[in-house]
Structure 1
Amino acid sequence: MASPYGDGIACYALFLEERLLHKEDCPLLSCRDIIVLLSHYLPRRDISEEKIFRQMQVRYEKRQASIDWNYKKQHAEDLLQAAG
């Protein structure tokens, strides 16, 4: 019998498996990254593997910068609350 959720659970399972598999070398691996890679490796190849990895690196750098900024912002807010 087919799942009432369609392929959503299978996609999530694949995403989780890939995140766990690449936890050390790609800790910021996102669902979008996996989709981009799948779109490259599946029959249609409009973009080179090198370009995909360059794009992923740019997204990782932006994602990490956002994470770092939010940690700094939270730390500053914590300091203000402690001082106030």
Structure 2
Amino acid sequence: MSLATSIKPISYLKSNAADIVKEFATNPETLIITQNGEAKMVVMDIHEYEKQQETLALLKLIALGRKEFEQGRYQDAQSFFEEMDNEE
């Protein structure tokens, strides 16, 4: 994910939308769009967005695994592989 971020007013987005899209091809810098001086939205390159979504999905899986572990819903590797072998 790109760590570079620009802050621009909504008027910049309105008047430069096509240029912003072209710019993402070489510089996927995330834009924070403000309205009346307050951050209102983020504009980002689709590839950066997809990477971010993949990262979030992995973090959710890790959190789910941790929760199941804490609830005692796990088994040791040996038992798991034996169970898998028996299902074939």
TM-score of the superposition, structure 1-length normalised? 0.38
TM-score of the superposition, structure 2-length normalised? 0.37
Higher CA-based Rg: 2
Q: 1 or 2, which has the higher helix percentage? A: 1
Q: 1 or 2, which has the higher strand percentage? A: 2
Structure scoring higher RCO (CA < 8 A, sep ≥ 6) equals 2
